[in-house]
Chain A
């Protein structure tokens, strides 16, 4: 083939043309897939879900203010009497029994409680409680994967053509 007289000065990634067919046909296959999930929702769901969230958070409803059966004042008197009784009971019983303290809880019990996902914290909440240094000292379970297993996994799952781009 005759050499081009002028060159453009442009370059393409090394395997661009050899991988082009595979990428193009992959794209065509992808276009045959359905574009909709097929999921639907009950009628009026999005109008009702807001109120369900606000009720759980005990935020005042926009639909109308709920008037309590007993006024705050009555509850206030009741609460004051109950609090006084509890205080008297606590003072008189303080020396009789040893209350459970955090120190008496077994470390393994705390750890199995957390592992049991009973704490209800997600990773972003845990992250907000730790500083960068503390995060750096954590040994993740992933670290326990051996080099060989990791390498084998990557070879089985990595799309090598993309690494060359």
Chain B
């Protein structure tokens, strides 16, 4: 695995940036894919957003000033791209963001690339009820175990606020699952 600093240097110095970009894509494609997938839910949409994310990274690498870690910066771009994608989808279909998300959740039941059981489906439905930012905080913390410090850099929110938001999210999710339990 090539160190971030070395990658950034090779990408920005003009010393074979194409090869450096190949290394970057190879190293980060899976992490960024799952980050996006948890927001847009569907594989094909995730594929579009992932490609757009890498294109944006390639075109803007010179504006990366090293104030945060490279992967944090890329996570931020991926997150923004995913949210922009959902907003544009809502706009194109002349509907609200909530209804786009509802639709995506309903489609999960028949999605060939979703193999979750009833509880996992309910879990996804519960996550979808959270406000957008709380969803991001919860999924990144719960599934990827991103530290609060890193989350703070990605989402530009204080650590205290993130902790609070995460605990509220857990409460809302467990309440939703309990309320929708089938016996």
Contact = CB atoms under 8 A, between A and B. Distances in A.
A36 B171 contact: no
Interface size class of B (residues with CB under 8 A): 35 or more
B164 A162 contact: yes
Interface stretch (B5-13, B93-101, B109-117): B109-117
B143 A37 contact: yes
A71 interface: no
Given A42-B113, A123-B80, A124-B63, A59 B21 contact: yes
Interface in A3-58: 26, 29-30, 32-34, 36-42, 45-46, 49-50, 52-54, 56-57
A121 to B, nearest CB: 10
Contacts of A50: 22, 25-26, 29
Contacts of A148: none
Interface size class of A (residues with CB under 8 A): 35 or more
B54 interface: yes
B71 interface: no
A40 B113 contact: yes
Nearest to A129: B63
B106 interface: no
B114 A39 contact: yes
Contacts of B150: none
A39 B113 contact: yes
B26 A57 contact: no
A39 B40 CA distance: 12
A18 B62 CA distance: 52
A134 interface: no
Given A29-B174, A49-B50, A38 B116 contact: yes
A49 B43 contact: no
A49 B160 contact: no
Given A33-B123, A37-B116, A162 B54 contact: no
Contacts of B22: 50, 54, 59, 62
A100 interface: no
Contacts, number: 115
Contact of B84 (A60, A117, A158, A162): A117
A117 B88 contact: yes
A40 B142 CA distance: 18
Contacts of B129: none
Interface in B63-85: 63, 73, 76-77, 80-81, 84
B121 to A, nearest CB: 7
A157 B164 CA distance: 9
Contact of B171 (A26, A34, A42): A26
Contact of A49 (B47, B88, B173): B47
B170 A26 contact: yes
Nearest to B119: A34
A108 to B, nearest CB: 19
Given A29-B170, A159-B168, 6 more contacts: A46-B30, A123-B80, A124-B63, A157-B168, A158-B164, A159-B171
The 3 closest A-B pairs by CB, nearest first: A38-B116, A38-B120, A128-B63
